[in-house]
Structure 1
Amino acid sequence: MGFADYIKANEEVHKAGSEVKYLFCEKEGADKLIVTFPGFTNSGKFKYRYVRTLQDVNAHRLFLLDEFGVRGCYLLGHHRSFKIETVVMSLITSMLKKYGLKIDDVILQGSSKGGWMALYYGIKYRFGHVIAGGPQTKMGDFLIKEDVEIQPDEKIHVFSKVRVADYIAGGHEHGDLTYLNNLLYEQLYRDPEDFPMIYIHVGKGDSHFENHIKPFVTQLDINNIKYELDIQEYHEHNDLGIFYPKFLLKTLQTIDDKLIPQRMKI
C-alpha cells in the first residue's frame, strides 16, 4: 500500500458540533501522545505533515488536517468563533481518556503555520511540551501586513493569506490585524507556573526570526516562561523542511529518550 493510499484508508473524522479530519497512528505500550499540526502548502492542497518523519517514534501520533476556508483557519473557527478549536480539543481529550494519558503526556508540534497552532494550543491548554519550527507568532502581521507588503499592486489571488484572515477574523482591517496578533500573545499573561516546556527552531536568516520569533521570546523572558531556542545557519523559510525534521527528532529524544528507537538516535 502506498503512502497516499495508507492515509486515505486510515483517515477518520471527529464530530463535536463541527467536524475535523485526522489520521491516528497507535503505538502499543506508548505513554506519550504527539499531536502534529499542519502548515500551509504551496499547492493549496490540504495535507498532513511529518507522518513519515514520526512513523517509527515510540508514541501515539495524532495528525490533524486544517481544510477550512481557502487555506485553513489555524484550527480555530470562522469569523472569530472557536468551533473548530472546540472539536480539536474534544478529539485530543478523547485520545487521552482512551489511552489513560495525562495532559502532561502530550507533545504538540508543527512548523510555520503549524508552529503557531502548537504554541497556541500548548500554552492555552497547558500541555506538556511544545515543539515549533519557524512559527509565525503574530498571525495578523503574517496574514495581512506581510501579504500586502509583498504584493502591493497585485490583485489578491485565490490562495492569498489575506483571504485566510478574512475567514478567521471576518476582515483584514487594522482591528482584524490586532485581533489576530493577540490570539497567541494574550495566552502569555496567565500564571506561568504550569506552562509547557517550549522548544523553538528557526533559521538565522528566515524573516520569521526577526518578525515573529524575537518578539515572542522577549515576551517569554518578561513572563519568566522557560523555553529553548535553536537558531541554525540558513536563510529561507522553506528550508524548514530540511532542518526542522532533525530538530524535531532530536528534541523528542531530549524530552524522553525512549521516544526514539536506538537506530534513530541522534
Structure 2
Amino acid sequence: MGLVEIIKSKEDVHKAGRDLKYLFCEKKGSDKLIVTFPGFNTETGAFRYRYVRTLKDVNAHRLFLLDEFGTRGCYLLGENRNFSVETAVMSLINTIVKKYDIKIENVIMQGSSKGGWMALYFGIKYRFGHVIAGGPQTKMGDFLIHDVEIVPGEEIHFFSKVKVADYIAGGHEKEDIKYLDSLLFNLIYDSPENFPNIYIHVGKGDFHFERHITPFTQELDKNHIKYQLNIENYVEHNDLEFFYPAYLLKTLKSIDKRLI
C-alpha cells in the first residue's frame, strides 16, 4: 500500500477542542507506541506526515501527527500562548495509550528538525519513556526569527517563519523570542527528575549543532541528565532526510530488539 492509500484509509480527526488530523497504524500484540511529529514544510500550506514509510515495518503501534495550524504550523502548541492544540495532542495520545494498555515508559516520541523540537518538548514535559530527535531546533524563537539569516536559500521563507512566531507567541519582539526559547529549556530547569531516555542525532556541520543542540546538551549536563548524542559527517541540515531514518531504526532496535 502506497503512502497516498495509507493516508486515505487511515487518516482521521481527533476532536478535543481543536480538530487534530492524524494517522494511526495498529500493530496487534505490541506494547509500544511510536509518536511521530512533523517537520517544517518548505512551502506554506504543504502540510505532510513524516516517516510513514520508514516505520511501516516496525513492530509497534504508530501515531503520525499533522500540524496544519496557522500558515506553517504551530509546533502543535496553540495560538497566542494558548495551548489548545497541545491539549488535543495529549488527549489523542492518552486515548490510544489507554485503549491499548501501553505503559508511559513504552511510548517513544520521535521527529526531526521542527519535529525533533516537538518530540523533546512532549517527551520531557509528559515524561514519556524515550525521545529520538534528529537535528532539533531547541531555541524556537531564535530559529523562527534569527536563523533564517544564516541558512542559504531560506531567505524567501523569512516572513512565513515570522508568522509562525506571531501565531504561537502573539508577536516576534525580544520578549516573544525569549518566551519561545524558554518553552523547551524551562522543562529542564523546572523539574530535572525522571527524564525520558534522550537520543539526539545531528550532522557535525549542520548549523543546528552549534546554535541549538550544544546549548541544550550543556544544560542537560549541568542538570546531570543523561543523553546520547550521535554526530554524523555531513554539513547541510536538509541531509537529515538521508541520515536520520537509519539512525531512527538503529535507535529503536537499541531500545528493544523486537521493534525491528
Q: Using structure 1 for the length normalisation, give the TM-score.
A: 0.93
Q: 1:40 Cα shift?
A: 1.0
Question: Could you list the per-position Cα deviations for residues 234-259 of structure 1 after superposition, in whole angstroms to 9, with x for gaps in the alignment?
Answer: 00000000000000000000000110
Q: Secondary structure at the match of 2:24?
A: strand
Q: 1:150 Cα shift?
A: 5.9
Q: Which amino acid aligns with 2:236?
A: E
Q: Which amino acid aligns with 1:75?
A: L
CA distance in 2, matches of 1:29, 1:233: 38
Q: Secondary structure at the match of 1:66?
A: coil
Equivalence for 1:263: none
Equivalence for 1:84: 85
CA distance in 2, matches of 1:192, 1:170: 29
Q: Secondary structure at the match of 1:240?
A: helix
Question: Could you list the per-position Cα deviations for residues 186-240 of structure 1 after superposition, in whole angstroms to 9, with x for gaps in the alignment?
Answer: 0001333310000000000000000000000000000111100000000000000
Q: Residue 133 of structure 1 contacts residue 240 of structure 1 at CA under 8 Å; is this kept in 2?
A: yes
CA distance in 1, matches of 2:86, 2:244: 25
Sort the Cα spacing of 1:64 and 1:252 in 2 relative to 1 into closer, same or farther, 3 A. Answer: same
CA distance in 2, matches of 1:43, 1:128: 33
Q: Which amino acid aligns with 1:103?
A: I
Q: Secondary structure at the match of 2:97?
A: helix
Question: Could you list the per-position Cα deviations for residues 14-68 of structure 1 after superposition, in whole angstroms to 9, with x for gaps in the alignment?
Answer: 0111111000000010010000000012133000000000000000000000000
Equivalence for 2:127: 126
CA distance in 2, matches of 1:15, 1:128: 26
Count of residues in Structure 1 that have an aligned counterpart in Structure 2: 257
Q: Residue 35 of structure 1 contacts residue 108 of structure 1 at CA under 8 Å; is this kept in 2?
A: yes
Q: Which amino acid aligns with 2:170?
A: G
Q: 1:146 Cα shift?
A: 1.7
Given the alignment of the two structures, is residue 141 of structure 1 paired with residue 142 of structure 2, yes or no? yes
Matches within 5 A, 1:148-227: 160-227=160-227
Q: Secondary structure at the match of 1:219?
A: helix
Q: 1:160 Cα shift?
A: 2.1
Q: Secondary structure at the match of 1:229?
A: strand
CA distance in 1, matches of 2:157, 2:188: 34
Equivalence for 1:60: 61
Q: 1:99 Cα shift?
A: 0.3
Q: 1:5 Cα shift?
A: 2.6
Q: Secondary structure at the match of 1:47?
A: coil
Q: Secondary structure at the match of 2:28?
A: coil
Q: 1:8 Cα shift?
A: 2.0
CA distance in 2, matches of 1:147, 1:236: 14
Q: List gaps (5 residues or longer) in structure 2.
A: none
Sort the Cα spacing of 1:32 and 1:159 in 2 relative to 1 into closer, same or farther, 3 A. Answer: farther
Sort the Cα spacing of 1:149 and 1:245 in 2 relative to 1 into closer, same or farther, 3 A. Answer: closer
Q: 1:147 Cα shift?
A: 2.7
Sort the Cα spacing of 1:5 and 1:194 in 2 relative to 1 into closer, same or farther, 3 A. Answer: same
Q: Secondary structure at the match of 1:160?
A: helix
Question: Could you list the per-position Cα deviations for residues 116-173 of structure 1 after superposition, in whole angstroms to 9, with x for gaps in the alignment?
Answer: 000000000000000000000000000011235669xx7x768621111011111111
Equivalence for 1:99: 100
Measured on the aligned residues, the alpha-carbon RMSD in Å equals 1.5
CA distance in 2, matches of 1:241, 1:146: 20
Q: Residue 137 of structure 1 contacts residue 213 of structure 1 at CA under 8 Å; is this kept in 2?
A: yes
Q: 1:2 Cα shift?
A: 3.5
Q: Residue 148 of structure 2 contacts residue 158 of structure 2 at CA under 8 Å; is this kept in 1?
A: no
Sort the Cα spacing of 1:150 and 1:249 in 2 relative to 1 into closer, same or farther, 3 A. Answer: closer
